[in-house]
Structure 1
């Protein structure tokens, strides 16, 4: 899933300047910029130390988009990396290819709605028909990620990808906490709800309403502002109907029990983990830190410092 989304985003690198209205392609930083950002990176995002069975792991609330200078870890995250030996993420992109092929072609959208998706894809300067192989929710998610470029954010600078690249460079083992099938199931609302949810997402994209909530989410994440993140369903304009609220719960809260269970198993096997999971999974009644505390972990806030 991640790999296919990144491929779609990469396709725009050669198309992004073809029209003034295209989402701007992020400029690649110079070597000097990279060195400066790496040397001066502050701590961003929430980080916890979780301890049980005589050793500690770390739990990092990640963001799936970022700015170029955000793709460098701050001092606390670097220490967490040095004190751990395995990276655990929601899903390793290396697991994706065969599973997506096995999943087959998704059910198509109604013709009129598919045409509106295609029209929004043209606004994003994507090649014709490139989204049709994705489930409907991922089609609009891809368009939302491209729209985020207008405010300087890009999926290529997300914290998960930064950590995965770091793991590859260090030959560090990577563990997936979910399977591709589990993620696809979580991402798929009931078939009857899909048209209304896609219609709402397209309306927000067309009217520019997706940008302010994404900016607010990113800035709250950067500060480690868990209070604002916990209120996300109230201000995101993405959980306003019963169907949207049910889907958000399924996508976020309902996955946390299984995620926590797998963290417990990996840690219990003696592995010192750096766990990177989307920061919204760290909030609410099923927040991962709470679930792990109930499993007997000592959970300590590392960042933001209290």
Structure 2
């Protein structure tokens, strides 16, 4: 089944730091940051008209940024059986300042015994599996010649040169989409999940992957040659028409403002649920994954003294979002507002107020 690229924006960028770009370094500000890999040399733009390559922050820059950090995103407190865990909605493409957790998020992370992510991209075994899954097979062409030429031209125009050669075409067009707002400072290099992973490792916390690389990559790939060509063609169309840019910009800005209402209304403004096929694809992308992730979160909560769960914010919205699913499992689910209550539709405690404002 073909899934247009706009429907993959919040999902695909999480994988791209493993395939392309710079994994940002982070740590407990009072500890030494762990080492991280440098950005691949082939991905560095040389044209002065191109967006500058991301530069990994130094330990001192991390500490200064942490001291000034503001809370962004969506945060819930989970309680059951005398244990407290946290559920945090992230974004996988961000501005550099956004990746540093603010006071409320930092307090929740510090107070948790373990961290759970969609994927821990600092796990070498996860990276090894992703690399194998995203590599282009050697047994024949994967795209019609005209479409392959169009994809190559788009990569040149995006200042990527040949950096993506050797990857599957669906991964290449997803990368183009995730990098489309680099000129506005939005880059998967500054994805919140990877920073949290680096910080948790630096603090000596155990880090879990809620999903497998195989399941995540399968969502990005076409089932056959026709589906593959549709994914790439639609992705290039949406980039050329500015649709991907508009969707990504609205999504990340809503996250930065902790704007639950805009995120919750994503199905109304994404222009992505116009057919039975699109609705089925969205169910696979979000609803079906949410059920499995809720079960995994429940298992972790039962055996740990506290788990900080950080996954993409679109997994938090609606009746099939993680807060609703965990509430149905018997958890006390309390919205932690950084400014004001989220309004109708968000799962919250009966008071509807922030935990830290009582």
Q: Structure 1-normalised TM-score?
A: 0.89
Q: Which runs of 5+ in 1 are unaligned?
A: none
Matched, 1:18 2:51: no
Shift of 1:78: 1.1
Shift of 1:79: 1.0
SS at match of 2:119: coil
SS at match of 1:296: coil
Q: 2:42, 2:162 within 8 Å by CA — same for their partners in 1? A: no
Superposed counterparts of 1:93-132, under 5 Å: 93=121, 94=123, 95-100=125-130, 103=133, 105=136, 108-128=142-162, 130-132=164-166
Q: 1:38, 1:72 within 8 Å by CA — same for their partners in 2? A: yes
More deviation in 5-14 or 144-153?
5-14
1:66 equivalent in structure 2 = 94
Query: Take 1:141 and 1:44, find their aligned partners in 2: how far apart are those partners?
Result: 25
Q: Which runs of 5+ in 2 are unaligned?
A: 1-11, 22-38, 342-358
Matched, 1:88 2:116: yes
Matched, 1:53 2:87: no
Superposed counterparts of 1:281-292, under 5 Å: 281-292=315-326
Q: 1:16 to 1:279 in 2, by over 3 A?
A: same
Query: Take 1:84 and 1:237, find their aligned partners in 2: how far apart are those partners?
Result: 38
Q: 2:51, 2:182 within 8 Å by CA — same for their partners in 1? A: yes
More deviation in 207-216 or 114-123?
207-216
Shift of 1:32: 7.0
Q: 1:27 to 1:185 in 2, by over 3 A?
A: closer
Q: 1:245 to 1:199 in 2, by over 3 A?
A: farther
Query: Take 2:163 and 2:62, find their aligned partners in 1: how far apart are those partners?
Result: 36
Query: Take 2:326 and 2:66, find their aligned partners in 1: how far apart are those partners?
Result: 32
1:126-177 CA-to-partner distances (Å, cap 9, x unmatched) read 232724423x432211001221202211111111011011012112110110
Query: Take 1:189 and 1:75, find their aligned partners in 2: how far apart are those partners?
Result: 42
2:7 equivalent in structure 1 = none
Shift of 1:183: 1.3
RMSD: 2.6
Q: 1:55 to 1:137 in 2, by over 3 A?
A: same
Shift of 1:195: 2.3
Query: Take 2:64 and 2:216, find their aligned partners in 1: how far apart are those partners?
Result: 37
Matched, 1:8 2:20: yes
1:209 equivalent in structure 2 = 243
Matched, 1:181 2:210: no
For these two proteins, the number of residue pairs brought into alignment is 304
Query: Take 1:158 and 1:288, find their aligned partners in 2: how far apart are those partners?
Result: 20
1:194-234 CA-to-partner distances (Å, cap 9, x unmatched) read 32232121012123332222111111111221221122233
Q: Structure 2-normalised TM-score?
A: 0.77
SS at match of 1:147: coil
Query: Take 2:131 and 2:195, find their aligned partners in 1: how far apart are those partners?
Result: 26
Shift of 1:3: 6.5
Matched, 1:164 2:193: no
Q: 1:133 to 1:13 in 2, by over 3 A?
A: closer
Query: Take 2:307 and 2:195, find their aligned partners in 1: how far apart are those partners?
Result: 16
